[in-house]
């Protein structure tokens, strides 16, 4: 398989300025601070993390809707990190986005036909009648009635609007679709329809997805690989099976244990770790390991001094994590997140 997208040490820092005339830079919000991954054609990378962890900013940098501060993005063999607008336009034919809010991301004054056909128009594909035919075909593909070509977005329900957004993303046969929380605003039954649709389209059109969501069940359902982010950095990354069945980072463990289980019997049996506090501000993130103030396995003098780097998990071929004291066992037993004695002894190196 070929590598479609390679992201190396991607950074996005937003300046915090003070003053009206001189706009003195007083601080930086490091929204994305060193994200690297490789995505192969036809695969789905799921990105999870709490709000404010930088997952959407990362997506916008990859699509170059935001200018990255540092790092390198290679798409389809070409370095696109610093392409200008004109060159980027050609790249955008192969890279589309689907946004979270189907209410806000469609222009309320445009008809569905024009919304879905706009990418064709922008890229100068076909004449008017070609485009109309293509748009009707697209509406059919995503399960909408092609005769609704002349309707306005407000005449559709939330799920149908998300289908319109997907049709628009498909219009020019992209290779990569970045889905930023595409189902979080939808009811479960409609969510299932959209998830199934995305899977079918992936098979039919050989698509690659970056799928951003905060719902771990959804990410597990759609992804091949998973990246867990915390305050601008990946803390764990790997194949879906390994991350979900053998999480190493305590943050991943906490996220997994917090998901409500739709089965009262199983739900009562499992151990849950509820994290205290909130996600720290990326304006002033904690030193070293950014998770240390909330971490149940925190060791003073190690976690707050020495930043853990992403390292491969033992015995796994596709699983990296950034933690000094990774989880030894999963699922959690009655000791919860307590470290085994050996791990503590090994701590002061």
Q: What is the binding site for other proteins (CB under 8 A)?
A: 50-51, 157-160, 187-193, 195-196, 199, 214-218, 220-221, 241, 244-245, 254-267, 272, 274-279
| Cβ proximity to other proteins, 95 vs 243, nearer residue | 243
Beta bridge partners of 233: 230
Parallel/antiparallel/unpaired status of strands 176-180 and 208-212: parallel
* Shortest Å distance, C-beta 84 to other proteins: 37
> Cβ distance 75 to 5 under 8 Å?
yes
C-alpha gyration radius of the chain: 22
* Shortest Å distance, C-beta 252 to other proteins: 11
| Cβ proximity to other proteins, 105 vs 119, nearer residue | 105
| Cβ proximity to other proteins, 35 vs 243, nearer residue | 243
* Shortest Å distance, C-beta 48 to other proteins: 9
Q: Give the C-alpha separation, 337 to 155, whole Å.
A: 50
* Residue 17: Cβ within 10 Å count: 12
* Shortest Å distance, C-beta 203 to other proteins: 11
Question: Which string of b and e fits 225-261 if b means at least 16 CB within 10 Å?
Answer: bbbbbbbbbbbbbbbbebbbebbbbbbbbbbbbeeee
Strands (E), 92-144: 95-98
Q: Give the C-alpha separation, 246 to 84, whole Å.
A: 43
* Shortest Å distance, C-beta 267 to other proteins: 5
| Cβ proximity to other proteins, 73 vs 231, nearer residue | 231
* Shortest Å distance, C-beta 64 to other proteins: 27
Residues 6+ away with beta carbon under 8 Å from 16:
25, 26, 27, 28, 29, 283
Q: Give the C-alpha separation, 284 to 30, whole Å.
A: 9
* Shortest Å distance, C-beta 200 to other proteins: 9
Beta bridge partners of 73: 7
* Shortest Å distance, C-beta 270 to other proteins: 9
> Cβ distance 75 to 94 under 8 Å?
yes
| Cβ proximity to other proteins, 63 vs 166, nearer residue | 166
| Cβ proximity to other proteins, 90 vs 258, nearer residue | 258
> Cβ distance 299 to 324 under 8 Å?
yes
Beta bridge partners of 190: none
| Cβ proximity to other proteins, 259 vs 305, nearer residue | 259
Q: Give the C-alpha separation, 114 to 111, whole Å.
A: 5
| Cβ proximity to other proteins, 204 vs 278, nearer residue | 278
């Amino acid at each position: 398989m070929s590598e479609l997208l390679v992201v190396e040490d991607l950074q996005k820092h937003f300046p915090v300025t003070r003053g009206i005339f001189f706009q003195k830079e007083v601080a930086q919000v490091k929204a994305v601070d060193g994200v690297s991954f490789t995505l192969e054609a036809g695969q789905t990378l799921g990105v999870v993390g709490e709000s404010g962890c930088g997952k959407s900013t990362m997506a916008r940098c990859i699509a170059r809707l935001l200018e990255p501060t540092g790092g390198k993005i290679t798409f389809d063999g070409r370095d696109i990190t610093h392409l200008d607008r004109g060159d980027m336009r050609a790249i955008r034919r192969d890279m589309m986005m689907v946004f979270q809010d189907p209410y806000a991301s469609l222009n309320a004054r445009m008809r569905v036909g024009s919304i879905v056909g706009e990418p064709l128009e922008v890229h100068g594909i076909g004449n008017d009648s070609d485009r109309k035919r293509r748009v009707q075909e697209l509406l059919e593909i995503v399960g909408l009635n092609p005769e609704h070509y002349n309707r306005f977005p407000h005449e559709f329900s939330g799920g149908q609007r998300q289908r319109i957004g997907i049709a628009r993303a498909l219009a020019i046969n992209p290779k990569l679709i970045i889905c930023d929380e595409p189902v979080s605003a939808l009811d479960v039954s409609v969510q299932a329809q959209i998830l199934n649709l995305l899977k079918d389209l992936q098979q039919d059109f050989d698509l690659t997805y970056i799928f951003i969501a905060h719902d771990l069940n959804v990410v597990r359902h759609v992804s091949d690989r998973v990246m867990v982010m915390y305050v601008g950095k990946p803390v764990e990354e790997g194949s879906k099976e390994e991350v979900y069945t053998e999480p190493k980072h305590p943050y991943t463990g906490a996220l997994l244990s917090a998901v409500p289980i739709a089965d009262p019997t199983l739900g009562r049996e499992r151990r849950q770790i509820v994290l205290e506090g909130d996600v720290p501000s990326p304006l002033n993130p904690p030193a070293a390991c950014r998770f240390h103030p909330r971490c149940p396995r925190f060791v003073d003098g190690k976690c707050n001094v020495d930043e853990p780097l992403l390292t491969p998990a033992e015995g796994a071929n596709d699983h990296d994590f950034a933690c000094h004291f990774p989880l030894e066992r999963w699922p959690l037993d009655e000791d919860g997140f307590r470290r085994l004695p050996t791990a503590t002894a090994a701590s002061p190196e």
